[in-house]
Each structure stands twice: as structure tokens, then as C-alpha cells.
A and B are shown apart, each in its own frame.
Chain A
């Protein structure tokens, strides 16, 4: 059974056209993360939610926003995608507590034309 689901798996958008990526989880985890991963690079943390508390990374561009309407869902909004935003976007979850293990979704591969 899928535990962290991302939709769509592949997204093509035009330069400057807003796009929203979706993540849902069946694990009831408190913490949800969004990462950006470009080819041959490490996943880069964009932001995370601890419950409803939003934590933005200092170097995440303003172009990237996030919403978490409830425990199960989290969205990544890219307001004006540029060519440099083409990447794999990974959602991950973690339970609160001593374990740092993160569970990743399959990712959404974003192409910007």
C-alpha cells in the first residue's frame, strides 16, 4: 500500500505558468517535507511542516510556496516556474519522536518549457 503519494508523477508546465504539486500520506506523520532534486545532485530541502508550523529554508526562493490544509495533504506551489526549476520534487514524511527516518514519495518530475 502506498504510504506517501505524489501527484502528478510527471508535470509539464510553461515558463511562468503557475503549477501546484500534491503530496498525501496515509502514515499520519506530523512532519512533511518538500525537497528539490536535480540530476546528479543531492535532494535539497525547500521547507517543512511540523504539524501546522511552517519552516522555510533560508535559501528557498520566494517563488516556492507551500500549503498544508490538514495532516494528510501538503502542496507545493511554484508561482512562476523558470527553466531552472525543472527538477524532481520529492515529498517526505516523518513521525515526531526519536526516529529521524523519512519516508519518501515517488516524486513529481517537473519539466518547464
Chain B
């Protein structure tokens, strides 16, 4: 089983739509969780960290369910500029500082 699994998509949504991405991780000892954004042929950039209580940053909401080992990202009011690949990222385990990356979910927002 892969350490981090994501639906690769692609997700094609119209502008203004709400879209949700899901991710599961296999190591129950993982302690930190993130969503990174990667534009085509560019480097990954941190979008947001994911906290146990859930957190929101503008149009973006991240949720964590430790019992189910499941992470989600919700994007509301999609913009054309949201088109990118979204990578689910988790730390390897307790006290570990290396990251496992999912293969990413491709989002295209259509005018």
C-alpha cells in the first residue's frame, strides 16, 4: 500500500464551483499533514498545513480525520488561477521530519 494515496483526477470544474479532494495515508504515526500546490513544470509550494481541528484559509478548507487516516481539501468559488495539481503530504511518522508526497490531484477550472 502506498504511503499516501490520492485520486489523480483530473477534476474539471467550472468557475465558481466547489470542489473537494481526498487523501488517505497509511502510517498511523504520521503527525503533520499538508496540502501543496504544484503548477505545471514548476516546484511544489505549500498551500496550507492541516490541523486536527480543521482549518480554513480564505476559500480553502482542510480537514483531518486521524481515526480514518483521511485528509481533505475543499476549494470554494473556484478561480481559473486555482488550476494546478494538489499534492497531499504527510510526515513519515512520529518525530520524523521527512515528507511523503502523494501523486497529486489535477484540477482544471474552466471559464
Residues of A with Cβ closer than 8 Å to B?
31, 33, 40-43, 45, 48, 88, 90, 94, 100-102, 104-107, 109
| A42:B43 contact, CB within 8 angstroms | no
B100 to A, closest residue via Cβ: A42
A5-B15 Cα distance, complex, nearest whole Å:
34
Q: Give 7 nearest A-B pairs by CB, closest first.
A: A104-B43, A42-B101, A42-B103, A100-B32, A43-B101, A107-B43, A106-B43
Q: Given A31-B97, A100-B34: A41 and B103 within 8 A (CB)?
A: yes
Asked if B54 is at the interface of the complex by the 8 Å CB criterion, the answer is no
Chain B nearest CB: distance from A35 CB in Å? 8
Asked if B99 is at the interface of the complex by the 8 Å CB criterion, the answer is yes
A101-B33 Cα distance, complex, nearest whole Å:
10
The 8 A CB mask of B25-44 against A (1 = contact, 0 = none) is 00000001010000001111
With a cutoff of 8 Å between Cβ atoms, the chain B residues found around residue A100 in the complex are 32, 34, 91, 97, 99
A41-B106 Cα distance, complex, nearest whole Å:
12
Chain B nearest CB: distance from A81 CB in Å? 20
Chain B nearest CB: distance from A92 CB in Å? 8
Within 8 A of A (CB), among B60-111: 87, 91, 97-104
| A104:B45 contact, CB within 8 angstroms | yes
With a cutoff of 8 Å between Cβ atoms, the chain B residues found around residue A94 in the complex are 97
A88-B44 Cα distance, complex, nearest whole Å:
12
| A42:B102 contact, CB within 8 angstroms | yes
A35-B23 Cα distance, complex, nearest whole Å:
21
A90-B42 Cα distance, complex, nearest whole Å:
10
Within 8 A of A (CB), among B1-48: 4, 8, 32, 34, 41-46
With a cutoff of 8 Å between Cβ atoms, the chain A residues found around residue B100 in the complex are 42
A45-B44 Cα distance, complex, nearest whole Å:
14
A45 to B, closest residue via Cβ: B98
With a cutoff of 8 Å between Cβ atoms, the chain A residues found around residue B44 in the complex are 43, 90, 104
| B43:A90 contact, CB within 8 angstroms | yes
With a cutoff of 8 Å between Cβ atoms, the chain B residues found around residue A43 in the complex are 44, 87, 101
- Some 7 contacts from A to B, beta carbons below 8 A apart, are A43-B44, A45-B98, A90-B43, A90-B44, A94-B97, A104-B45, A109-B41
